[in-house]
Amino acid sequence: MAGLSSGGGSSLGRCSHAVVRALPESLREHALRIEKDKAVDFARAEREHQLYVAVLKSKLGLQVLELPADESLPDCVFVEDVAVVCEETALITRPGAPSRRKEVDAMKRALESLNLNIVEMTDETATLDGGDVLFTGREFFVGLSKRTNQRGAEILADTFKDYAVSTVPVYDSLHLKSFCSMAGPNLIAIGSTEAAQKALKTMQQMSDHRYDKLTVPDDAAANCIYLNIPGKGHVLLHRAPEEYPESAKVFEKLKDHMLIPIANTEMEKVDGLLTCCSVLINKTSEL
């Protein structure tokens, strides 16, 4: 499943556009979640999401496409799972949870409006959630989880042939990015649990490249968003100190990054982390 790995990861984090989606009120009661007993404060969830969108739009100057909520799709705010975008190509996924399959429709229209090359996952044996896809700038790692299967990973590899694609078993978490993400060029943020460390070891064994690692005490805090914004340089959106104080201290040691702490308390109750709520796109050609 390995294609030719091109480039040195230097384009990682380059971003001009983002797609986000408003929260439906149905999220409070009906969004999928591993732990059923945590009540979501919907007003607070909306405030947190509005701040997140404001950072992308106002602080970082991205062009943000804001899709309306759909009450019949309680998880629709988690747009990352329904599309994987690399350069000018967008793979519209087939989410692992059947209740989420219709979420792809609005995302497909949004990405078509950006003139991306659209590839649709039509194979009914395939499942893929974007939360299981880690793009390092030079290759893809795809978590094989309850939501993503081998066929889904194969279709991703067929779609992005310029990059090597390796699969990583995910056992105790919803997605691969439940405990890791890119925190900078060549830098993988990783949680401290045994499962997270085991997955990192698998990635290291699969790759021809040596990545630096940034280990944080809390798995959920290892999910952060790295951006490389002209005029601002290295930018990292990470979980707020009031949520994960020990992990925040680790991020604060990154002296070359513009650090932006973001609270995500309510979304996490329904298994949503920072990367889940946006699809990031770098449009290099004219619209």
Annotated binding site for substrate: 32, 75, 80-81, 100, 147, 270
The strand ranges marked E within 170-232 are 180-184, 187-190, 212-215, 225-229
What angle is formed at CA 110 by the lines to CA 68 and CA 280, rounded to 5 degrees?
Answer: 95
Count of C-beta atoms within a 10 Å radius of residue 212: 10
Of the candidates 196, 200, 191, 195, the one whose C-alpha atom is nearest the C-alpha of residue 218 is 191
The yes-or-no answer on residue 224 being catalytic is no
Annotated binding-site members: 32, 75, 80-81, 100, 147, 270
**Owner of token pair 């698998």:** 202
Is 76 one of the catalytic residues? no
- Distance, CA of 217 to CA of 221 (rounded, Å): 8
Q: Which listed residue (17, 49, 76, 175) is catalytic?
A: 175
Judge contact between 89 and 117, C-beta under 8 A.
yes
Q: Which position among 86, 180, 276, 277 bears the catalytic label?
A: 276
DSSP string covering 267-282, please? HHTTT--GGGG-EEE-
Beta strands in the chain (DSSP E): 17-21, 63-67, 83-86, 89-92, 117-120, 133-135, 139-144, 164-169, 180-184, 187-190, 212-215, 225-229, 233-239, 258-262, 279-281
User: Which residues are known catalytic residues?
Assistant: 175, 276
